[in-house]
Amino acid sequence: MLLEVRDLHVEFKTRDGVARAVNGVNYSVAEGETLAVLGESGSGKSVTAQAVMGILDMPPGRIAGGEILFKGKDLLRMKEEERRRIRGAEMAMIFQDALSSLNPVLSVGAQLGEMYEVHRGMSRKDAKGKAVELMDRVKIPAAKERVGDYPHQFSGGMRQRIMIAMALALEPSLIIADEPTTALDVTVQAQVMDLLAELQRELNMGLILITHDLGVVADVADKIAVMYAGRIVEAAPVHEIYKAPAHPYTRGLLDSIPRLDQKGQELYAIKGLPPNLLAIPPGCAFNPRCPMAQAVCRTDVPPLYRVTESPVERTSACHFWKECLHG
């Protein structure tokens, strides 16, 4: 396993109390594997990713428990120096908003080249050559002519490609992409996603893809983890989850994807809102919104049930996963 997150807890101190943003997350990514992380806004997708990258805002954030094993070693128990080395060279993150992640006063060539100068000790000239190579690799037209351009001179889609290039520069073994295409036009979204998937396969990297969009996931992911109120409520190989979800929340998400064959019909939406993280309801956090909820769901937190074992383990945190799966 490349990355294994075990029982991770993250909380934030706020004026009104402690917000429990991540409440026992478990997920794993193997070399060359793509894990898609799904869930409504505020479910803890980004906070989990920030904890893995070691870029959590602390304070107000605090890791309240758990382990994050990277190549078998717990990142949370590493010296800051080793952590920093891993963060630079072995894992990289791609964010939604390239414009605020790139430096506006440095040419993209200088920013890409800097990676090689700082981490590989290359000369400026060689580093610039590598920058052009990288821009070619992410399919930026006329890379050689554009290497001296600044971020604002590129379109949104091209900027996102530059971010991908930055992330790939040192050939990390893990990439975390947090809504990498959300800010782009729909047509450009697909191109950028295809590029990311292609490079991931070529370089055999592990990829964590955080997204709201169940539609894109089917094409690129190997497995899915669905988050709700800071927990993974269902984890499954991608094709299995589309066939038959084993959690009512996953079912709700699937039912709310617009479908071409149902044009004109009103789109299904899960009723209600995710819970306030300062006061997560007892029992299953989803129970107030769940069409299948029974008395036990209001009192007992569901454990992670094993739905199937092989080849990739499938789990559901629903007391009634069997009914959901077969229903």
Ligand X SMILES: Nc1ncnc2c1ncn2[C@@H]1O[C@H](COP(=O)(O)OP(=O)(O)OP(=O)(O)O)[C@@H](O)[C@H]1O
Judged by the rule CB under 5 A, the positions of this chain that interact with Mg ion are: 46
Which one of Mg ion, ligand X, none interacts with residue 23, CB within 5 to 8 A by kind? none
State the nearest-atom distance from the C-beta of 125 to Mg ion, in Å: 39
Which one of Mg ion, ligand X, none interacts with residue 94, CB within 5 to 8 A by kind? none
Of 136, 87, 134, 84, which Cα lies nearest the Cα of 110?
A: 134
State the nearest-atom distance from the C-beta of 40 to ligand X, in Å: 7
Q: Output 46 or 111, the one with its CB closest to Mg ion.
A: 46
Q: Output 46 or 316, the one with its CB closest to Mg ion.
A: 46
Q: Output 131 or 221, the one with its CB closest to ligand X.
A: 221
Which one of Mg ion, ligand X, none interacts with residue 39, CB within 5 to 8 A by kind? ligand X
Q: Output 39 or 248, the one with its CB closest to Mg ion.
A: 39
CA distance 307 to 252: 19
Buried/exposed 159-174: b ≥16 CB within 10 Å, e otherwise = bbbbbbbbbbbbebbb
Q: Output 142 or 279, the one with its CB closest to ligand X.
A: 279
Which one of Mg ion, ligand X, none interacts with residue 47, CB within 5 to 8 A by kind? ligand X
State the nearest-atom distance from the C-beta of 323 to ligand X, in Å: 27
Give how far Cα 199 sits from Cα of 18, 150, 175, Å.
40, 24, 11
Residues with Cβ within 8 Å of 321's Cβ and at least 6 positions away in sequence, in order, are 246, 247, 305, 307
State the nearest-atom distance from the C-beta of 256 to ligand X, in Å: 15
Q: Output 46 or 315, the one with its CB closest to Mg ion.
A: 46
Which one of ligand X, Mg ion, none interacts with residue 146, CB within 5 to 8 A by kind? none
Residue type, 103: N
Residue type, 269: A
Note the residues at the interface with ligand X (CB under 6 A).
12, 14, 19, 21, 39, 41-47, 57, 60-61, 212, 277
Which one of Mg ion, ligand X, none interacts with residue 60, CB within 5 to 8 A by kind? ligand X
State the nearest-atom distance from the C-beta of 42 to ligand X, in Å: 4
State the nearest-atom distance from the C-beta of 181 to Mg ion, in Å: 13
Residue type, 315: T
Residues with Cβ within 8 Å of 64's Cβ and at least 6 positions away in sequence, in order, are 9, 10, 11
CA distance 228 to 286: 7
Phi and psi (nearest 5°) for 302?
-70, 135
The residue nearest Mg ion at its CB is 46
Angle between helix axes 108-120 and 124-137 (nearest 10 degrees) is 120
